[in-house]
Amino acid sequence: MEENIKAVRSRDYVRSYEMKVAIMTELEGERDYFLMDQIALAPEVKEVQRRELELLYLKIKQIAQVTGKHIDSRLIESIIMQTNFTKKRKRKKSAGNRNDTSSMEKVDSAMTQKTKVKENPHPEFVIEGTTLVRYNNEEQLTEVTIPHEITDIAKEAFLNADITKVNIPATVKSIGAGAFRNCANLSEIKIPGSVKRIEDYTFSGCKSLRIAFLVYGVEYIGKYAFMEATSLKMINLSKSLKMIDEGAFYGAGLVKAVIPKNMTLIEEQAFRKCPNLKSVVVSGSVKQIGEKAFADCHNLMKVALEDGIRVIGKSCFRNCSRLKILNVPDTVMEIGKMAFAHDENMAVSLPKSLENFLDTSWGFEDRDSEYPHDFYKDPYIFEKNCMIIFREKQDCQSQ
């Protein structure tokens, strides 16, 4: 009766059902003696049937063996009290399970619905984290507002969408390449200052885009970002802008282009083939105007180049047939081949420092040449019928 078994650390484990049925008594001959003796010691047991007493005996024997305790009246009383309490608790729990199950089902259902709403609060968008991955064109909305929790618009997110207007919050920090490409009906766009870069082809092919407003903060306009935006008459270029990349406004409908201060480079073909472009102002902070930057702008009539510009690239103003007056700043040190090719009867004011440069750089077309006008065989800078005036160093005035 006093056999010791190593005590377990957890009382709950000792009381578990698995442990209670695992240990069986080996003292079969002593069972009746135990029952008679313990009933006398514990009056509460008198009302319990013999079978229940036998089961109780096994429980008491089990606990005594595991814990190493003697079987005495105090142990029996504690077991009886715990057994009665456990039975009542089980009955209450069993009765309440049905109601609890029903309540839990309702809670689960409510949570499921709530989760679904939370996962897709904006059915017109496909969103992953804080990135707007794709616009669901099937919603057939004309105006869309991007949610404030969005920080990034993915590459080609609105490709070929039928929207006419999009509202971009200041929480958006990046717009991927081609994000609004070929949105043929998009008419107005405002880029918040939180977006530093307009990536390549972002608004390319937006033929209905009339107004593009760049808030202070935008620093870069990517390659062919507004290419073929034929209805774009006006764009506000922020003073924070530092670079206009290759072909950014190729074929756009701009009427006037004012290049702000702080910009240092206009890349090649940036404003090429803008059929409506009439006036250009280039800030002196720009050090280089790239190759063919304003080429084939047939209606360009007025160009103001401020002091500070050093290089006018190859074919920069080629085929600008309506450009008749040009004042080249004193700071210009190099003019590329064919820079003013096919610009007939133009009057050009040049600094004296460029006279020797033109003499050694095939500055004028040789009409007696056996070759026709060709970039490779006849690499001149000005047409022969242009009127060139070499001036002493002076402050250039904007035309």
Break the chain into its structural domains and give their ranges.
1-119
Residue type, 253: G
Alpha helices in the chain (DSSP H): 11-15, 17-22, 31-41, 50-67, 73-119, 355-359
Other C-beta atoms lying within 10 Å of the C-beta of residue 202: 30
Which string of DSSP letters, residue by residue, matches 147-180? -TT--EE-TTTTTT---SEEE--TT--EE-TTTT
Q: What is the DSSP letter of 393?
A: S
Strand partners, 256: 279
- Give the position of tokens 């950014």: 248
Strand arrangement, sheet containing 279-282: 256-259, 279-282, 302-305
- The CA distance from 123 to 223, in Å, is 32
- For the record, the structure tokens of 96 come out as 């309440």
- The CA distance from 153 to 131, in Å, is 6
The answer to whether residues 273 and 296 touch, using CB atoms and an 8 Å cutoff, is: yes
125: left (phi over 0), alpha (psi -120 to 50) or beta: beta
Q: What pLDDT sits at residue 348? A: 87
pTM score, whole prediction: 0.65
The answer to whether residues 216 and 194 touch, using CB atoms and an 8 Å cutoff, is: no
Half-sphere exposure of 69 (CA within 13 A, CB side): 17
CB neighbour list of residue 35: distance below 8 Å, 6 or more residues apart: 50, 53, 54, 57
Q: Average pLDDT for consecutive 10-residue bins of the chain (399 residues)?
A: 41 40 40 49 50 66 63 56 54 55 55 52 89 84 91 96 93 96 94 94 96 90 96 89 95 94 93 96 94 96 95 93 92 90 86 73 47 44 81 57
3-state SS class at 32 = helix
- The CA distance from 225 to 228, in Å, is 9
Q: What pLDDT sits at residue 303? A: 96
The answer to whether residues 338 and 379 touch, using CB atoms and an 8 Å cutoff, is: yes
- The CA distance from 184 to 207, in Å, is 5
Q: What pLDDT sits at residue 220? A: 94
Half-sphere exposure of 35 (CA within 13 A, CB side): 18
Q: What pLDDT sits at residue 369? A: 44
CA angle, 344 then 350 then 355, to 5°: 100
How would you class 205 by CB atoms within 10 Å of its CB: exposed for 0-12, middle for 13-18, buried for 19 or more? Answer: buried
